[in-house]
Amino acid sequence: MNGVHDMGGMHGMGPVVIEMDEPVFHSEWEARAYAITVAAAFHRKWNIDMSRYSRERMPPARYLAASYYERWLFGLETLLVEQGLVTATELETGCAEAKAGDVSALGASDVATFLRNRRHARLDDDVAPRFKPGERVLTHNDHPVGHTRLPRYARGKRGVIDRDHGVFIFPDTHAMTRDKKPQHCYSVRFAARELWGPGACARDSVYVDLWDDHLDAA
């Protein structure tokens, strides 16, 4: 979706300010928002791509005004209701109408293992790559209303396959229908001038991880 989350190349956002000696969390609620989001994902009612899509759907004015963990909270509340772990009424009142069915929550002793495994997106499927390193590609000029990992600034652009990472889940369908659609994921190198015009430095480039379904031969 052409949302405000797709920020690459936007102007007017101001300077980058690095906070010295920044704490991991700036307040208690941030820590709890992070933790309940990760722990709720343990039920496997959604995948990482659905999580990202849930945050992208935050209305744009709110998204820009929100802090990072407020976006997480919005996404979590959205998924909990959409996937039926919590009802809209429960969310509103804060009172459980019923215990969750036959579920077991993430336990403290399983945290390390869960953190290691939860984002595994590489697949063993035997799928042939459509491109080889060094080949020239043209990215699709598509504007899907759903989730996509092809940023706007890299659409309809010419690049070169830098490396083939192997077969991965395709997030664009995984977020919408849970279809893993196994295919190769590549680092695609774009000259900065291809993306941004003659004002960009001729030496510089941007590498974007893209999938077979984003690319045509050029």
Partner 1 sequence: MSDHHHHDDDPIGEHDRPLSGPALRVKALESLLVEKGLVDPAALDELIDTFETRVGPRNGARVVARAWVDPAYKQRLLANGGAAIAELGLAGRGEEIVVLENTPKVRNMVVCTLCSCYPWSVLGLPPVWYKSAPYRSRAVIDPRGVLKELGGEIPDDVELRVWDSTAELRYLVLPERPAGTEGWSEGQLAEIVTRDAMIGVAQAAVPAGSGR
Any contact of residue 119 with partner 1 (CB under 8 A)? Answer: yes
Please identify which residue in 137, 167, 206, 215 interacts with partner 1, judged by CB under 8 A: 206
- Rg of the Cα trace of the chain? 20
Pattern 24-63, partner 1, x by CB under 8 A: xxxxxx-xxxxxx-xxx--x----x---x--x--------
Any contact of residue 145 with partner 1 (CB under 8 A)? Answer: no
Any contact of residue 158 with partner 1 (CB under 8 A)? Answer: no
Please identify which residue in 15, 44, 128, 132 interacts with partner 1, judged by CB under 8 A: 15
Q: In the range 57-76, which residues lie near partner 1 by CB under 8 A?
A: 64, 67-70, 73, 76
Any contact of residue 178 with partner 1 (CB under 8 A)? Answer: no
DSSP state of 195: H
Nearest CA to 155 among 193, 116, 96, 210?
Answer: 210
Please identify which residue in 88, 103, 144, 177 interacts with partner 1, judged by CB under 8 A: 103
Any contact of residue 91 with partner 1 (CB under 8 A)? Answer: yes
Any contact of residue 167 with partner 1 (CB under 8 A)? Answer: no
Residue 122 and residue 168 in contact, taking contact as beta carbons nearer than 8 Å: yes
In the structure encoding, which two tokens stand for residue 30, read together? 């941030």
Residue 187 and residue 207 in contact, taking contact as beta carbons nearer than 8 Å: yes
In the structure encoding, which two tokens stand for residue 118, read together? 């939860």
Rounded to whole angstroms, the Cα distance separating 151 from 153 reads: 6
